[in-house]
């Protein structure tokens, strides 16, 4: 039961928002209410909105009941600005529209579009948005604007404030305003003239106070997101311009942003980078100061502790470990329209720093593979600290800026504060051109003495930054709750009171994100600290950043990897804290569906995770904990008698096919839906793309004197044939044999094929012992067939091949993509077939790093290839798509519209192809079908 007045608010919200987008249960309010900061508040109600009209009604409801509301985009915020203990409003799937304007000189974006997606939209035009935060692959436009997020290259010249053209917003009372529309401005001037007059009055008073106006201008010469964007008051005369620029960096405390129009910036075609190594931090800072006069795109500074945190990791440049104890590095990038211009800039940069002695000669590289290695040094710094912290501790990244002339002294003083307060493993890095430093350290918030240590450290840091160096306490991460109490310390009484007036003009009732940016509680930054109990070794390193979320197939259905970890940590906290068994059981029962059942366990999250956590692997372990003795015995029996189990599967497919032929699509679908529903999802859910029983026979080729390959047709490929509506009834084995024959390969099959399996079906269900037993059996057969690794081994199913590669060493294992690009390139010619085809790169192939190769291969084989945007894992997850079809549906809800006009799709997993065919509306087949159709032997 919700407490008053939230019970009444919920009843009103249900009239505005569908009930399946409102959440009040303890698991989802906790999981959905968690952001990347080290603070925690649990909302009473979470509402997912899809359109502006819903936001308008929500604001009218909260105004009637006088309760606070907080808006959330991606939740990558680091300072506690995206959490609430009242009502949390999240951006749903509807906020993804965009419009390219004026030949890409401008772009209109809704707040739910991810930053990197906006850049992909603009890439064909040679443009991008200005802000480039490190979280750009996850954070959304609404959050980028609301936090005035910047990044490594945009500085203060190309951030949201400087590149903003217009905004569409909803004010605290529910009134919409489009600053780019004359009619909307006119209507607003009539209804809310008081706000416009108030802004004009603030401007007049500030300009009359030369000291205050000078302070504001001075503060924004460097990066600054502490407090409100007061520079709007001195930079613009038009009240509408002042209004919209005050919204930039306002962290949801002034209005809701429903649309932004950016002026775009050039994405240069030519780039080069150099990792300049200096004997000390002062030399590196001096170099950055000099280079600031040249239009270099970025100069990232790293102290010795930062370099040490990554120097031993694979792929790092040589020589880092041998640097002296005081050494520092400066990662410099230059960009240009042409190669000649790039070379000119390189020479100019080298000339500028020639008088600063380096530890070794500076070398710029324009080769992407080489400069990406250099940037991996910089990108690995934050996760490097997070990965090695003790379980139960928090990784904190603070964000300050100094006048560039003071950068060296301030950096050395900051290092001294680390030593004073015992933060021995802290590192410093940042955007040196802007005097912007990030410092990262680990903190235990579980004992009061550690909280006191953090409080003392922050007291020293804030006074050092704000008083001594007149810098910014927050340069680009936003004020949030973390620095809200220190805003007056940095800005002084007059500017602080000006900010209060701004807040009162926009939100006189104080309902929008209270406690953020302005907070009178001197202990606010020490309250509501997030607990991080030890839960399991696989997930204890999670820093809850949310970088994993965009790639998760269940993100719009139940939970993301971050949220799964948050919820399981809560189960651990309850158990460790002595919660009642009933409370733990109730929470866990909800987790069994939200966290476990609807997890595809694909492991793609590890590719996006800064500390490479595979939440899918953890969920498989979680499943193993749930199995009782009977379940394990049944799994062992199925594995031990696999040939019999496979025969039973083929028989079931034959029966389902016969019933389908007899009953037709509609009756069969309705009957199976009922059986699935009323069996509590124990009965698999049949669908119209269900494969018919396949021809399990696969023969070796005749002995020859040429090349040999061991072909292991997966059990899925052996037993699942084409679907009913597919007119092509040929099998994967037939096409694989044909391709190999064209390339001159003799096929060797492993002995005892009928009983062989990689163990994937058992592993995905958490039967880990049985899975490993099947894999060991397969390994023996493959070693024998390949003459202990002499011959390459091909498996046409990427998930099976991935599992084999993960555990079997010393054998040459290939899926169709890698086999084609590695071993067929010099043996086959390709003529593109005259088709528009769809390509789905499976999660296993992505984890193997084969996505670019798959696209290139498909484009060599077909006239037109469509690779759908934002479709990563199909969510079918082996056979999970039969038991939880809603996961597959959620993962592929945008597929059909993206592949319109395609006649066929290709992938490298038969079970994935079932869901892809169902939701794409065209048959999906193994990539071997396309290779066979488009290839012939080279002369």
Chain segment 765-778, per-residue pLDDT in tens: 999 999 999 999 99
Please report the pLDDT score of residue 701 as a whole number: 72
The alpha carbon torsion through 876, 877, 880, 886 (nearest 10 deg) reads: -40
Is residue 5 reached through a cis peptide bond, with omega within 30 degrees of 0 on the bond before it?
yes
Predicted confidence band of residue 732 (pLDDT cuts 50, 70, 90) = very high
Is residue 704 scored above 70 in pLDDT? no
Between β-strands 127-128 and 106-109, what pairing exists: parallel, antiparallel or unpaired? unpaired
Q: Which residue has the tokens 């040459």?
A: 812
Give the integer Cα–Cα distance in Å for 71 and 513: 8
Strand partners, 46: 23, 88
Predicted confidence band of residue 699 (pLDDT cuts 50, 70, 90) = confident
Predicted confidence band of residue 383 (pLDDT cuts 50, 70, 90) = confident
Please report the pLDDT score of residue 705 as a whole number: 61
Is residue 381 scored above 90 in pLDDT? no
Predicted confidence band of residue 394 (pLDDT cuts 50, 70, 90) = very high
pLDDT in tens, 71-116: 999 999 999 999 999 999 999 999 999 999 999 999 999 999 999 9
- Where do the DSSP E strands lie in 712-787? 720-723, 745-748
pLDDT in tens, 575-601: 998 899 999 999 999 999 999 999 999
Span between the terminal Cα atoms of the chain, in Å? 76
Is residue 717 scored above 80 in pLDDT? yes
Q: Worst-scoring range by mean pLDDT, 308-322, 450-464, 833-847? A: 308-322
Average of per-residue pLDDT across 915-939? 96
Please report the pLDDT score of residue 702 as a whole number: 67
Please report the pLDDT score of residue 152 as a whole number: 75
Give the integer Cα–Cα distance in Å for 596 and 573: 18
Is residue 386 scored above 90 in pLDDT? no
The rounded percent of the chain whose pLDDT value lies above 70 is 99
- 235-239: long-range contacts at Cβ-Cβ below 8 A with a sequence spacing of 24 or more? 237/203, 239/195, 239/196, 239/197, 239/199, 239/200
Q: Taking the alpha carbons of 55, 514, 475, 445 in that order, is the dihedral positive or negative?
A: negative
Is residue 682 scored above 90 in pLDDT? no
- Helix, strand or coil, per DSSP, at residue 907: strand
- Helix, strand or coil, per DSSP, at residue 257: strand
pLDDT in tens, 162-200: 999 999 999 999 999 999 999 999 999 999 999 999 999
pLDDT in tens, 484-536: 999 999 999 999 999 999 999 999 999 999 999 999 999 999 999 999 999 99
Is residue 295 scored above 80 in pLDDT? no
**263 touches 514 (CB < 8 A):** no
The two counts, helices (H) then strands (E), for the chain are 39, 29
Q: Which residue has the tokens 């000078």?
A: 214
Q: Worst-scoring range by mean pLDDT, 282-286, 324-328, 378-382, 746-750? A: 378-382
Is residue 698 scored above 90 in pLDDT? no
Give residue 256's Cα distance to chain centre: 23
Please report the pLDDT score of residue 1 as a whole number: 84
Please report the pLDDT score of residue 439 as a whole number: 95
Give the list of residues 6+ apart from residue 152 with CB closer than 8 angstroms, or none. 132, 134, 298, 300, 378, 431
**477 touches 430 (CB < 8 A):** no
Please report the pLDDT score of residue 183 as a whole number: 98
Whole-number average pLDDT of the chain: 95
Average of per-residue pLDDT across 409-424? 96
Please report the pLDDT score of residue 117 as a whole number: 97
Average of per-residue pLDDT across 897-921? 97
Give the integer Cα–Cα distance in Å for 509 and 197: 19
Please report the pLDDT score of residue 725 as a whole number: 87
pLDDT in tens, 868-895: 998 999 999 999 999 999 999 999 999 9
């Amino acid at each position: 039961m919700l407490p008053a007045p939230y019970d009444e608010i919920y009843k009103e919200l249900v009239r505005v928002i569908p009930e399946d987008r409102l959440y009040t249960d303890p698991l989802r309010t906790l999981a959905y209410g968690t952001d990347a900061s080290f603070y925690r508040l649990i909302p009473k109600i979470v509402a997912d909105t899809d359109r502006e009209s819903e936001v308008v009604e929500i604001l009218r409801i909260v105004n009637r009941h006088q309760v606070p509301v907080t808006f959330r985009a991606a939740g990558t915020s680091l300072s506690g600005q995206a959490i609430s203990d009242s009502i949390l409003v999240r951006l749903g799937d509807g906020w993804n529209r965009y419009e390219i304007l004026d030949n890409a000189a401008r772009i209109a974006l809704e707040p739910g579009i991810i930053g990197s997606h906006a850049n992909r939209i603009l890439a064909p035009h040679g443009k991008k948005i200005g802000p480039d935060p490190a979280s750009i692959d996850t954070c959304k436009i609404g959050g980028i604007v609301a936090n005035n997020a910047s990044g490594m290259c945009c500085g203060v010249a190309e951030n949201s404030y400087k590149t903003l053209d217009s905004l569409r917003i909803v004010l605290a009372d529910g009134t919409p305003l489009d600053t780019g529309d004359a009619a909307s401005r006119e209507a607003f001037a009539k209804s809310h003239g008081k706000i416009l007059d108030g802004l004009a009055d603030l401007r007049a008073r500030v300009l009359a106070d030369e000291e205050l106006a000078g302070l504001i201008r001075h503060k924004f010469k460097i990066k600054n997101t502490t407090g409100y964007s007061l520079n709007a008051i001195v930079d613009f005369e038009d009240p509408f311009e002042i209004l919209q620029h005050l919204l930039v960096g306002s962290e949801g405390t002034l209005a809701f942003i429903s649309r932004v129009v950016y002026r775009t910036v050039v994405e240069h075609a030519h780039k080069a980078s150099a990792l300049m190594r200096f004997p000390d931090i002062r030399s590196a800072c001096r170099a950055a100061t000099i280079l600031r006069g040249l239009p270099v795109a970025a100069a990232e500074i790293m102290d010795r502790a930062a370099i040490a945190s990554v120097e031993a990791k694979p792929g790092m440049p040589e020589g880092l470990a041998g640097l002296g104890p005081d050494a520092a590095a400066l990662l410099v990038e230059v960009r240009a329209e042409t190669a000649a211009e790039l070379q000119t800039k390189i020479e100019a940069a080298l000339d500028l720093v020639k008088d600063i002695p380096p530890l070794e000669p500076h070398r710029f590289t324009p080769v992407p593979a080489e400069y990406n290695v250099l940037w991996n040094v910089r990108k690995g710094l934050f996760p490097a600290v997070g990965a090695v912290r003790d379980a139960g501790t928090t990784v904190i990244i603070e964000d300050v800026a100094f006048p560039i002339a003071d950068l060296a002294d301030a950096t050395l003083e900051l290092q001294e504060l680390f030593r004073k307060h015992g933060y021995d493993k802290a590192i410093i890095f940042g955007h040196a051109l802007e005097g912007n430093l990030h410092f990262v350290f680990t903190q235990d918030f579980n004992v009061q003495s550690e909280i006191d240590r953090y409080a003392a450290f922050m007291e020293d840091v804030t006074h050092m930054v704000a008083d001594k160096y007149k810098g910014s306490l927050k340069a680009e991460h936003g004020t949030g709750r973390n620095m809200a109490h220190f805003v007056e310390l940095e800005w002084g009484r007059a500017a602080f009171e000006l900010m209060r007036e701004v807040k009162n003009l926009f939100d006189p009732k104080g309902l929008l994100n209270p406690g953020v940016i302005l907070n009178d509680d001197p202990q606010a930054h020490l309250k509501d600290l997030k607990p991080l109990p030890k839960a399991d070794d696989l997930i204890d390193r999670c820093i809850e950043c949310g970088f994993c979320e965009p790639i998760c197939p269940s993100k719009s259905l139940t939970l993301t990897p971050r949220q799964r970890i948050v919820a399981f940590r809560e189960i651990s906290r309850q158990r460790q804290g002595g919660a009642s068994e009933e409370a733990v059981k109730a929470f866990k029962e909800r987790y069994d569906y939200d966290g476990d059942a609807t997890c595809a366990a694909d492991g793609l999250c590890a590719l996006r995770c800064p500390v490479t956590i595979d939440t899918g692997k953890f969920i498989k372990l979680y499943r193993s904990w749930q199995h009782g003795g009977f379940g394990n015995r049944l799994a062992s029996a199925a594995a031990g008698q696999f040939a019999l189990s496979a025969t039973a599967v083929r028989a079931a497919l034959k029966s389902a096919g016969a019933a389908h032929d007899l009953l037709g699509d509609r009756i069969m679908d309705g009957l199976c839906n009922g059986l699935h529903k009323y069996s509590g999802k124990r009965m698999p859910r049949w669908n119209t793309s269900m494969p018919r029983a396949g021809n399990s026979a696969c023969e070796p080729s005749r002995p020859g004197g040429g090349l040999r390959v061991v072909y292991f047709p997966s059990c899925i490929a052996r037993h699942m044939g084409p679907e009913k509506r597919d007119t092509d009834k040929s099998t994967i084995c037939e096409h694989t044999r044909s391709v190999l024959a064209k390339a001159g390969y003799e096929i060797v099959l492993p002995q005892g094929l009928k009983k062989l399996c990689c163990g994937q079906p058992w592993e995905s269900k958490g039967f880990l012992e049985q899975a490993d037993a099947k894999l060991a059996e397969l390994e023996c057969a493959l070693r024998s067939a390949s003459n202990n690794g002499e011959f390459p081994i091909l498996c046409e199913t990427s998930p099976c091949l991935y599992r084999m590669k993960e555990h079997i060493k010393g054998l040459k294992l290939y899926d169709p993509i890698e086999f084609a690009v590695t071993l067929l390139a010099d043996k086959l010619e390709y003529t593109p077939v005259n088709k528009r085809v769809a390509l789905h790169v499976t999660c296993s192939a992505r984890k193997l790093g084969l996505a670019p190769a798959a696209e290139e291969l498909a484009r060599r084989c077909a006239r037109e290839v469509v690779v759908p945007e934002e479709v990563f894992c199909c969510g079918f997850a082996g056979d999970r798509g039969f038991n939880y079809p809603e996961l597959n549906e959620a993962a592929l809800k945008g597929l059909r519209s993206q592949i319109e006009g395609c006649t066929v799709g290709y992938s490298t997993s038969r079970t994935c192809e079932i869901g892809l065919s169902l939701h794409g509306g065209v048959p999906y087949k193994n990539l071997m079908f396309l290779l066979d159709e488009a290839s012939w032997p080279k002369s």
